[in-house]
Amino acid sequence: MDWTDKVVLVTGGTGSFGKKFIKTLLAEKHPRKIIIFSRDELKQHEMRVSGYDDPTLRYFIGDVRDRERLVRAMHGVNIVVHAAALKQVPACEYNPMEAVKTNIIGTSNVLEAALDCGVSKVLALSTDKAVSPANLYGGTKLVAEKLVIQSNNYAAGSSTRYSCVRYGNVVGSRGSVVPLFIKMRAGGKITITDERMTRFWLSLEQGVHFVMDCIEQMEGGEVFVPKIPSTKVIDLARAIAPDAQIDIIGIRPGEKLHEDLLSEDEARNAVERESMYIIRPPETLWNRNLHYAGDPLPEGFSYTSDNNSEWLNVEGIKKYIAPFEADFLNGKLEG
């Protein structure tokens, strides 16, 4: 796929993923134009003055809740990466309708605006918390996923295609536990909720390249799931603060011991490739005779953070968090 003639719009473009994605896209793919769509003028200003001032960039203030503004922003756009979301679990629990308005209605607005504007590809970012959700954030992302995939029905007679990527915790992203643990280390004590807890992990760079790869190969209707390592949260704490006291404070409402990236039911309709799983659309009502290359998964298969075949030990975790240690020392760490 040739990106050099493409116009790309990124919702939530000032977030951790958006900034890394845009930086990588400029360095490796050289698209004709990138539109940064977000609602915070200060974050856009800070992003611009921090070095994101390439002549191909356009800063577009808007909210995914505003469908008319999305239509205006998507004029002439070829590819949309939908990364905007309310993602803090406690904030979503306390402000449930705000989570619904942004994560569900906002996603619906993105999908409809893309169809109206003739966008070729829309790739939405999802999360392991959307599988068997235990909190409102996960519930809204589950609904958002369903909206994305089934919107291919409406787009059957057009060139617009919709797909999702679903992955786990991004090391060091805004709201990640990594910056929190690094800051707690200074007090000599780290709190975790349960010593049995496991999570999927990937770096921001891995997430960005995975999204770029999926955009290039998507046909519409897939949910792409990367193969990524798991880690025990207690090992993460030990890697960041080996000398700190670790206090177990008990699991919180809406929190899981382990996360799922691919449920047993979904696995029946998924294929495996070398670096990913692909969940095929359950019904190809848009009748495009799609063929998804890959190997079928065995009966009873699921992909969860505690049954993973790939694990990061303490030394492996240290390699992942090394960049954030440097940012902490330089005062650049995001909380």
pLDDT tens track for 161-194: 999 999 999 886 766 788 889 889 989 999 999 9
Q: Are 16 and 42 in contact (CB under 8 A)?
A: no
- Rounded CA gap, 320 and 127, in Å? 20
End-to-end CA distance of the chain: 36
pLDDT at residue 331 in the model: 58
Percent of the chain with pLDDT over 70: 94
pLDDT tens digit sequence for 14-36: 999 999 999 999 999 999 999 99
pLDDT tens digit sequence for 204-261: 999 999 999 999 999 999 999 999 999 999 999 999 999 999 999 999 888 999 999 9
More confident residue, 292 or 10: 10
Q: Are 209 and 175 in contact (CB under 8 A)?
A: no
- 3-class DSSP assignment, residue 231: strand
7-168+203-227+260-304 sits in which CATH class? alpha beta
pLDDT at residue 327 in the model: 65
pLDDT tens digit sequence for 38-63: 999 999 999 999 999 999 999 999 99
Is 328 a residue whose pLDDT tops 70?
no
Burial of 160 (0-12, 13-18, 19+ CB in 10 A): buried
Q: Calculate Rg over the CA atoms of the chain.
A: 20
pLDDT at residue 335 in the model: 42
Ordered by start, the domain boundaries in the chain are 7-168+203-227+260-304
- Rounded CA gap, 70 and 47, in Å? 21
> What is the average pLDDT score of the chain?
93
Please count the other Cβ atoms lying within 10 Å of the Cβ belonging to residue 249: 9
- 3-class DSSP assignment, residue 145: helix
pLDDT at residue 178 in the model: 87
Q: Which DSSP string do the residues of 30-56 spell out, in sequence order?
A: --SEEEEEES-HHHHHHHHHTT---TT
Active-site hit among 6, 19, 121, 129: 129
pLDDT at residue 301 in the model: 98
Helices 233-240 and 314-329 sit at what angle, rounded to 10 degrees? 50
pLDDT tens digit sequence for 272-321: 999 999 999 876 666 666 777 899 999 999 999 999 999 999 999 988 88
pLDDT tens digit sequence for 115-142: 999 999 999 999 999 999 999 999 999 9
Is 322 a residue whose pLDDT tops 90?
no
Question: Active-site residue 129, yes or no?
Answer: yes
Q: Calculate mean pLDDT across residues 311-335.
A: 74
Nearest to residue 263, comparing CAs of 230, 225, 218? 225
